[in-house]
Structure 1
Amino acid sequence: MQAQNVRIDLIELEAGTQQRKIDPNLTEQYEKLMADGVEFPPLEIVRDGDVYILYDGFHRLKAILNIGKAKSVRAFVEKGTQRDAIWRSYGANNKHGCPRPKGTIKKIVTAILSDPSWAKKSLKTIADHVGTTRDNVNHIQKAMREATKEYEQQKASSQAVKGEKVIDSPPPPVKRASTVEATSSRGKKYEQKSQAKEHKKPEIPTDSVGQEIPKHLVTLYESRSVVYDLLRHLQKLKTEVDKHVKTRDPTFSYLNETAFKANYENLRRTLKTVIFTAVCCNCNGDTKVKCKPCGQIGLLNADRYRAVIEELKPKGKKK
């Protein structure tokens, strides 16, 4: 397969194919190597209609975006669907690139085994694709089955009505609240509920380039889903029209195909400019200060993000 040039603004980064967060240190290393003329392997992309879904090469693309000069990148492009891209992303970085963080393999294998179709694959096939052992996949599968069994038991227990016969199955294990040992006034030891609250560390939301999103901007950033829904509807519209044209439906006899495709492409490109890509790196998302790049919104689209990154670079003398 030969690599081809793909416009950066056409690449889809939010299709569920990024299995780990961006590592800023690794990205910085890539930037330095690229500046020294080191040639990196092409990105790997699945083309679903007019959508180019990246599934391998997020750190390389982030470094290219930070450098801010390129309008297109070299990539291996295969035709397929979003589902194909997600499956391929599960095997990315299993033999090269930055080592996957702890817990990533378990997360990937769990996702595969939770899918009715992918779960039919042999344990060896899954292990080879993800880059782990068959025993590890088997261990994760058993843990999932035990968790499912426990859930079903708890569900059956909660649905049991008073006066009915209880099913002859062992009751689900009771999860005790955390306790501490205490001593009564008579010297007798007993357990009592701990007053300390257990706090689960919340997952920190990040933008498309791996930056942490300030709390006051999370809702606005997540509103991108509205634009993605519109883009999906637009893609369905084009697919439907193409189907009628291909079958020579007389209803579309007067359709100007060239104009239709051009208008579709313009509308799609215009909608993509609306999508928030990153927290403004000029004001760091502080909407209380006057910021020309983001207009006090706190967020930037892809084009403005690249422009701001370029402006913030130190202006050194050209050699």
Structure 2
Amino acid sequence: MKLPLKKIHLDGGTQTRARIREDIIEEYAEDMKAGAVFPPLVVFHDGKDYWLGDGFHRWGAAMALNLDSIECEIRQGTLADAQWFSFSANKANGMRRSNDDKARAVKSALRHCKGDRSDSDIARHVGVVHDTVAKYRREMETAGELSPRDSRRQDGASCENRKIDAQDDDMPGQPARVVSRKGKTYQMKVGQIGKAKKPNRKKAGGIAKDAAVPVRKPGQMIPTLTISIPLNNPEAAAGALLSNCEPAYLRKMVARITTTLDERSAK
């Protein structure tokens, strides 16, 4: 079944690759234009919205070609179902996953409402070895990013009684980092945008008395990602941003751009 591209939501925390590759989008677009037939996107329908579970590069290629719709395999399910499915996407087909892709998928699965499963179950689902899941679970629990599995079960943090919110920090997909302008590529450090300021944080490093996580040391790099934005195709550019950025970050970006344009128009 074909769905309009604009009807498919990309902002549900289901993009689990470390980054969207513009060269792959361009390659897919060329193949589509030449008549190549691609597998349908996997989309989850919750009765109201359509959430993309697999096929971000194919969606981007179709958008770059200004197509109105694309072939989709529609499955009935919630946003949580789409997220959980996305962690297993591309483990056996599609563009080969990098180690960063696998790490992101594992960490996202551990944070998910279904992440209280055993390391072996998560490893089979994501498509990695058991030791990889165990390693990231230990690291995340030590850093305070993840509660022990037993306590999560006692809290009843299941997908049935926990609200799934794509803007929740526990959901996969961290704020992205863009931009290309006039042929030059820039990196945007956005890891802290939209987050509340932690109280009593020491500027020189160390841990504040009431802080929940270690203070970032001076000079420590904030994770960034550089992607290409097609300056001659606003819709494709919007698609690239939607594929990589959290909704809260995009709203702040749009608000800032709108305010600046209004100020310039008033001059």
TM-score (norm 1): 0.49
Structure 2 residue matching 1:125: 3-state secondary structure: helix
In the alignment, structure 1 residue 132 sits paired with structure 2 residue 153: no
RMSD (Å), alpha carbons: 4.0
Structure 2 residue matching 1:200: 3-state secondary structure: coil
In the alignment, structure 1 residue 198 sits paired with structure 2 residue 219: yes
Q: Tell me what 2:192 maps to.
A: none
Q: 1:78 to 1:225 in 2, by over 3 A?
A: farther
Contact kept? 1:90, 1:130, Cα under 8 Å: yes
Q: What is the alpha-carbon distance in structure 2 between the residues aligned to residue 23 and residue 205 of structure 1?
A: 9
Contact kept? 1:13, 1:54, Cα under 8 Å: yes
Q: What is the alpha-carbon distance in structure 1 between the residues aligned to residue 135 and residue 88 of structure 2?
A: 19
Match of 2:240 among 190, 193, 210: 210
Structure 1 residue matching 2:44: 3-state secondary structure: strand
Q: Tell me what 1:222 maps to.
A: 251
Structure 1 residue matching 2:13: 3-state secondary structure: coil
Contact kept? 2:2, 2:71, Cα under 8 Å: yes
Q: 1:210 to 1:82 in 2, by over 3 A?
A: same
Q: Tell me what 1:9 maps to.
A: 6
The Cα shift of 1:209 comes to 2.8
Q: What is the alpha-carbon distance in structure 2 between the residues aligned to residue 6 and residue 146 of structure 1?
A: 44
Q: Match for 2:54: what amino acid?
A: D
Match of 2:58 among 57, 60, 73: 60
The Cα shift of 1:140 comes to 1.6
Deviations along 1:186-231, one digit per CA (max 9) or x if unpaired, are xxxxxxxxxxx6252463587643369xxxxx999424899xxxxx
Q: What is the alpha-carbon distance in structure 2 between the residues aligned to residue 10 and residue 219 of structure 1?
A: 20
The Cα shift of 1:106 comes to 2.1
Structure 2 residue matching 1:119: 3-state secondary structure: coil
TM-score (norm 2): 0.58
For residues 4-43 of structure 1, what are the structure 2 equivalents within 5 Å?
A: 4-20=1-17, 21-43=19-41
Q: 1:30 to 1:124 in 2, by over 3 A?
A: same
Contact kept? 1:17, 1:85, Cα under 8 Å: yes
Gaps of 5+ in 2: 148-205, 228-236
What percent identity do the matched residue pairs reach? 27
Q: 1:106 to 1:22 in 2, by over 3 A?
A: closer
Structure 1 residue matching 2:36: 3-state secondary structure: coil
Q: Which structure's relative contact order is higher, taking Cα pairs within 8 Å and 6+ residues apart?
A: 2
Structure 2 residue matching 1:103: 3-state secondary structure: helix
Match of 1:83 among 80, 84, 90: 80
Match of 2:89 among 80, 88, 92: 92
Give the number of the structure whose residues are more often helix, by fraction.
1
Larger Rg: 1
Structure 1 residue matching 2:99: 3-state secondary structure: coil
The Cα shift of 1:120 comes to 2.6
The Cα shift of 1:147 comes to 3.0
Q: Match for 2:62: what amino acid?
A: I
How many equivalent pairs are there? 185
